[in-house]
A and B are shown apart, each in its own frame.
Chain A
């Protein structure tokens, strides 16, 4: 059965990672890049949970790591959104190509 197989989860998580990379290059705004970054983080945390279920000696470690990733993602997105707010007020754009040198 496919849901009892480690490789299934690993392939899902690398697909999530590739989706994140694709979206990060494709999106032309900081918020879109933030959304794609969440996919990369989720791929990593799904990987930890899969190893936790199938390989790890102590099944609490992977869960704790996934919880830490969630906490970091929440902190990261709060900081990024406030930086985007500041950049928009200063440059009137959230296109990374227009603010690449951080000067008016």
Chain B
């Protein structure tokens, strides 16, 4: 039993290492493709945490939608974008930029840390339902039916809008 617990903790730590090594690669990479691969690693780590939080379905969806779809869309964006100019890239990563970014990130981190320390988290008295996909689907079609339909309309609008915008952007198709 102790062995199982220890193994769980070890896997958990490995996923945290995935998240933060991927994140550091993504925010510090000089080339966008490396940043994208860092993002994919980090998202896989988050999927592992979802698994630990009792929802294998969400872990699967995270892998499918984020690592599968969003990363491919971003890779497409990198592919049609400009070629990186090495010297210019180096010049743009100035010193002020790093200090400003670190200060903003540290300020956000400290504020949120104070917030979560100062709140006493109380679990709900009675818990209904479970983590199964069946219960999730029932809730999605009963209580959360309207947001579900709105998301599908939003996705349709976003796809049509993206196609129209990309078409306007092409040469000779000025609005």
Contacts and interface: CB of A to CB of B under 8 A. Distances in A.
Contact of B62 (A59, A61, A70, A78): A70
Interface size grouping (class) on chain A? 35 or more
Contact of A95 (B54, B92, B113): B92
Contacts of A28: 89, 92-93, 97
Contacts of B121: 6, 54-55
A88 B78 CA distance: 11
A1 B101 CA distance: 33
Contact of A31 (B20, B32, B58, B158): B32
Interface string A1-44: 11100110111101111110111011111011011101100100
Contacts, number: 239
Contacts of B122: 55
Interface of B: 5, 8-9, 12-13, 16, 19-20, 23-24, 26-28, 32, 35-36, 39, 42-43, 46, 49-50, 52-55, 57-58, 61-62, 65-66, 69-70, 73-74, 76-78, 80-82, 89, 92-93, 97-98, 100-102, 104-106, 108-109, 112-113, 116, 121-131, 135-136, 138-140, 144, 147, 151, 154-155, 158-159, 161-163, 165-166, 168-171
9 contacts: A14-B108, A14-B116, A26-B27, A26-B97, A31-B78, A58-B139, A59-B129, A74-B70, A89-B169
Interface of A: 1-3, 6-7, 9-12, 14-19, 21-23, 25-29, 31-32, 34-36, 38-39, 42, 45-46, 49-50, 52-61, 63-64, 66-68, 70-90, 92-95
